[in-house]
Structure formats: C-alpha cells, structure tokens
C-alpha cells in the first residue's frame, strides 16, 4: 500500500493550490490582475496539473539548430534509425516484461532471481522517500533533454517552434515543445521521422553520457578523493547489529572481511556473498587458550541440529567446535574476542601447522545460515559480527571514495553516483516508453511517419495505411496499459 503520509502530503498540497486559485479568481479586486499575470507569464492551472509555457528559449533552440548543419543531419539521421529500432524493440521488451509479471503473479512465492528491466515506480512504496529528490530531478532533466531534441530537430527541418514549457502532473514533472502543426504536416515523412525520433534518441544519448560519467567519476574526483583503499562507511542503520560501541561508525574504512580483502563496495558485497555461501571460517587458536575453566563438559543440540555449549547466553562467549588427536569432536565455550584476536583463519587443523606453536582450528558452532564475521577497519578494533550475512550487508552504506582532505564530505561522490544511476534508469525508461507505438506518445507519430515512408508505394490508399497504423497503435496501447496496470498491482497490492 502507498504510505498514508505521502498521499496526505500530495493531496494537501494540491488542495492548497486549488483553494488559493479559486479564492483569487473569485475575488473581484484581484481577479483581473491575477488572471492577467497567469496569462502574461504562461501559467495554466487545473486540478492536479500546472503548466508553464514560454518563448524565451526560442532563440537558444534556433542557435543550436544552425550549429554545423552537416553534423546535425548525421546526428538526427542516426537518431531516426535508433528510434525505429527502439519502436520495435520496445514492443519486444514490454511483451517480455508482461510475461515475467504474469509468471510472478501465478507463482506462490516471488522469484527475485530474474529482475525485470522495466518496473513501475511508486514513490514511498518501491522508491525510498529519502531519494525522491534524485528521482524527480532526473525525470525533469530527462524530459527537458527529450524535448530539446524535438525542438532542435524541428527547427532544422524548417518547422516553426512556438515555445517551450514545463508542467507538473500530480507529483511527476515534465517538459514539452509547442510546434507549428501546419509546417509539420507539410514536410516529408522522413523529415517528420527525424523530428519524432529525436526525443528518444536524446534520452538514449543522455544515458550514454551519464553512464560514461559514472565510470569516469574516480578520474574526475581524483584530486579530492582516492579509491582502492577500502570501503568507506557513510551510514550505519541505527539499532542494527553493525552499530554499537564495538561496531562501525561514519568515516570508518573497511579493509577486510575475515581473509577477504575489501578494496571497494563491490569487493564488500562479493566478500559477504562468499562468506555466506561457504562453510563458517575457523580460527587457529593456541592450545593453551583451551583452558578447562572455559570448556563445557556438556553440549546440547539446538532445534536446527547444530550444537550449543554456552548455556548462560553470554554476550561475550561463544561455542566453538574442534578436534584433537584423541577425540574427533569437542566443544568449548570461550570468550570470542580474546580467543580469535590476531588469529589467522583456517578450515582444518592442518591449516594451523605452519609454525612451532601447537594450535588447533576452532570453528564457531552457530545456527544454520548464521555466521561469525570479523570486520577489519583499522585503526579501530575489529568488529565481530554474529548473525545473518544479509543483515551485515544491508545495515551499512558504503562508498568507494575516500576524501583526501578532512573538510571534504564523503557523501558528495555518493550523491553524484546516485544521481547518475537515476539518470541512466529514468532516461532509458523514458526512451523505451515513448518509443512504444501507443496513442498520445511519440511512438504514435513515429509509427505513422514510418508507415508513410515505407508503405506509400506499396499501399497507395492513405486510409488503408491509417487503418494498419490504428491496429498497431491499439495493440501497443493495450500492451503498455497491461504492463502499467499489472506492475502497479504487483507493487502496491502484493
């Protein structure tokens, strides 16, 4: 379900705007001035919709349209080819997404192993409220770049641009260009196709630019941040197993998980996955530490079949299993930190026979799927984590970038990375959705122009070509509507 707080904020905001607009329009003293101000500044208000239209950017669009005509011809011709391929590719992608959604709906338990390429995003449900700013700014930037492509392509094809505008519908921002329809209808279908495909082409190129910037971010930030030294902690979930006086803190640099080296965030995730899918690591412990005062004579089975030998539920002691030359399975309740401090990892006693010190391999006796993980973050004392590996993985936020100077904030690279990721995903989604042959989207006009350019010599009757296009648009609209409806149901109702 959508959080009540989000619904209340959205409805409350729009009710306030609508009430203020109604009061100003009903006031005889300010009505004329208010409506005149809205008209002169290009504002239009309606329930859950605000639109702004202006012509102040027309000169900028014109300058861009006359920049290197030969390059722009190649640029928008490439965009036309991409747009046509994207139009057919979007149908394949939406069909695959629909089949995946139906499969998940019929499954008893959702299968997370096959992530969908396209997903419906609902703020507050599958989009964290803390990242709403990234989401809406990325949508607005993607929309502006999309419409910028249409505007420049139209002016290059001698179609007049009436103006540019932005709008807000419910909570989603967007942009648009106002083209002179008469000029648009007079040019050839191929010219129309260049204009209609320019939006999705520019969205695709925005994805490429954002992705390139994301990969080159370490180079851009090299004078201020360095990478490869470890994973820097930027946030620790309050009350999680990773917090506390012996836990992790903001600014800690994690360099190792057990004997798995951590050079960055990707290494951190790989190490956690490696430790969770492999048997529990053991520790080489000097036999002198196996004092009788620590050893418990009795060990009992837990419900899952594992053994426990610390009956007092101590927060500092842990049950270890080991074997010696006499008995194959022994158990000892030992203080964890003192026992494994500065000890190396092992899996059998043979791993510990590398020096003249008599040592045995002690393996923590824990419940199934539970792990003891030693997290190194020098110069602080190692953090000892006992629990599910996923709890450790998702209770800590990390970054690859370590500030070179103390006044540099560690969150700046994280913000840039997050925004680039949103740009890539949302601009890509806008390109795919707009390319769908669907009523009221770019795909409608792309399909119409494509059919006119390719079928005019084969099917001479215009009405027949329009009928073919209508059925294609009907199928594309149904496909998109089904994806949105089922996607919303999966996100909000399940």
Residues designated as active site: 147
Does the CA dihedral 353-359-360-365 come out positive or negative?
negative
The answer to whether 266 and 254 are in contact (CB under 8 A) is: no
What is the C-alpha separation between 259 and 383, in angstroms, rounded? 14
Q: Count CB atoms within 10 A of the CB of residue 438.
A: 25
Q: Do residues 338 and 320 touch, judged by C-beta distance below 8 A?
A: no
- Pairwise CA distance, residues 117 & 487, whole Å: 12
SS3 164: strand
Rounded to 5°, the CA angle 100-104-108 comes to 155
Q: Is 466 helix (H, G, I), strand (E, B) or coil?
A: helix
Which two tokens mark 383? Answer: 């953090």
Helices (H) and strands (E) in the chain, counts: 13, 20
Give the CA distances from residue 287 to residues 259, 343, 357, in Å, rounded to whole numbers and listed in that order: 22, 13, 9
In 3-state terms, what secondary structure has residue 415?
A: helix
Dihedral (Cα; 371, 377, 380, 381), 10-degree rounding: 30
């Amino acid at each position: 379900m959508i959080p009540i707080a989000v619904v209340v904020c959205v409805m409350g905001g729009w009710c306030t705007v609508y009430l203020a607009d109604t009061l100003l329009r009903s006031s005889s003293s300010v009505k004329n001035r208010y409506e005149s101000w809205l008209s002169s500044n290009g504002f239009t208000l309606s329930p859950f919709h605000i639109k702004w239209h202006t012509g102040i950017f027309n000169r900028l669009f014109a300058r861009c349209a006359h920049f290197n005509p030969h390059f722009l011809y190649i640029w928008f011709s490439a965009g036309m080819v991409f747009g046509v391929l994207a139009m057919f590719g979007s149908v394949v992608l939406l069909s695959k997404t629909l089949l995946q959604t139906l499969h998940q709906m019929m499954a008893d338990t959702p299968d997370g192993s096959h992530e969908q390429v396209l997903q419906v995003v609902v703020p507050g449900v599958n989009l964290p409220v803390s990242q709403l700013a990234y989401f809406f700014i990325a949508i607005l930037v993607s929309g502006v770049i999309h419409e910028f492509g249409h505007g420049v392509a139209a002016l290059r094809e001698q179609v007049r641009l009436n103006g540019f505008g932005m709008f807000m519908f419910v909570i989603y921002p967007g942009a648009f260009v106002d083209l002179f329809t008469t000029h648009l209808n007079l040019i050839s279908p191929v010219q129309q196709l260049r204009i209609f495909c320019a939006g999705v082409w520019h969205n695709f190129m925005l994805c490429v630019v954002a992705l390139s910037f994301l990969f080159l971010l370490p180079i851009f930030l090299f004078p201020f941040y360095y990478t490869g030294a470890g994973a820097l902690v930027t946030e620790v979930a309050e009350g999680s197993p990773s917090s506390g006086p012996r836990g992790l803190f903001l600014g800690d640099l994690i360099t190792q998980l057990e004997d798995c080296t951590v050079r960055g965030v990707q290494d951190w995730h790989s190490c956690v996955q490696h430790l969770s899918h492999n048997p529990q690591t053991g520790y080489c412990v000097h036999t002198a530490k196996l004092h009788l005062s620590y050893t418990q004579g009795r060990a009992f089975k837990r419900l899952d079949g594992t053994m426990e030998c610390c009956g007092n539920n101590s927060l500092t002691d842990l049950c270890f299993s080991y074997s010696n030359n006499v008995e194959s399975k022994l158990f000892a309740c030992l203080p964890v930190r003192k026992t494994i401090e500065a000890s190396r990892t092992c899996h059998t006693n043979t791993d510990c026979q590398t020096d003249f010190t008599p040592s045995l391999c002690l393996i923590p006796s824990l419940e199934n799927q539970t792990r003891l993980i030693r997290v190194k973050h020098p110069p602080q004392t190692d953090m000892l984590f006992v629990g599910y590996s996923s709890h450790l993985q998702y209770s800590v936020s990390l970054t690859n970038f370590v500030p070179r100077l103390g006044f540099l904030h560690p969150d700046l690279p994280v913000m840039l990375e997050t925004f680039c990721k949103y740009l890539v995903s949302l601009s890509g989604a806008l390109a795919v959705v707009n390319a769908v042959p669907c009523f009221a989207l770019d795909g409608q006009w792309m399909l119409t122009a494509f059919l006119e350019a390719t079928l005019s010599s084969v099917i001479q009757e215009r009405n027949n070509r329009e009928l073919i296009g209508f059925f294609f648009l009907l199928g594309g609209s149904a496909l998109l509507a089904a994806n949105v409806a089922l996607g919303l149901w999966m996100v909000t109702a399940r």
